[in-house]
Amino acid sequence: FGTGHCLKQLAEAVGEEGKVYGIDISSGMLAISRRRLERAGLWNRVELTCDDATKMPYTDNKFDAVFTSFALELFDLPEIPQVLSEIKRVLKPNGRIGVVSMSKEGGTSILVRSYEWMHEKLPQYVDCRPIYVEQSIKDAGFVIQHKERVSLLGLPGDIVIGTKPIS
């Protein structure tokens, strides 16, 4: 959930009867998000957990939807399938996954190659890199419902929505 910008919008969207759950490995991000949500009067609609998204502490089939924004590309490549598998596990049948991420598709520009090089050589400064978003979600067993290509400061990005099959 990072600094909580999306959590705030999601908490507003679910209304007083809804609940938003967030997981982040960083206790610092949790503290920033909590302050943001408290200032907005939305803390009672949110439950945040400081934990590892590759081993989520939630029961199977718990959530109607899971949203991740600029998070998958932070994981090491072998961990991305683990995270998506966990998302699939905690989603209810026919539940939705929404992912916003930097995309490697169509990313042959010098800007994309430079970004990837910086991630490889200077990971303490560039902690993420473009990934194959749609293919990763498909490979995890989701059915793609929508894909949209966007530009993120000149880097390609994808917005992908998928569903967990019923069986």
Q: In this structure, what CATH number is given to the domain that contains residue 138?
A: 3.40.50.150
Residues 148, 151, 155, 161: what is their CA dihedral angle, to the nearest 10 degrees?
Answer: -20
Point out the domain boundary residue: 51, 68, 90: 51
- In this structure, are residues 141 and 117 in contact, taking their beta carbons and an 8 Å threshold? no
The total of structural domains in the chain comes to 2
pTM for this entry: 0.88
Same domain, 153 and 97: yes
Same domain, 44 and 94: no
Same domain, 44 and 79: no
Counting beta carbons within 10 angstroms of the beta carbon of residue 91, is it exposed (0 to 12), middle (13 to 18) or buried (19 or more)?
Answer: buried
Residue whose pair of structure tokens reads 């800007």 in the numeric block:
111
Same domain, 14 and 92: no
Range of the domain at 30: 1-51
**One digit per residue, pLDDT tens: the chain, 167 residues?**
888 889 999 999 999 999 999 999 999 999 999 999 999 999 999 999 999 999 999 999 999 999 999 899 889 899 999 999 999 999 999 999 999 998 888 666 777 777 777 767 766 766 677 889 999 999 999 999 999 999 877 778 899 999 999 97
Residue ranges of alpha helices (H) inside the chain are 5-14, 27-39, 79-90, 110-121, 133-139
Same domain, 63 and 141: yes
Same domain, 21 and 89: no
> Residues near 88 by Cβ (< 8 Å), separated by ≥ 6?
97, 140, 141, 142, 164
What percentage of the chain's residues is helix, strand, coil (to nearest 5)?
A: 35, 30, 35
Same domain, 76 and 34: no
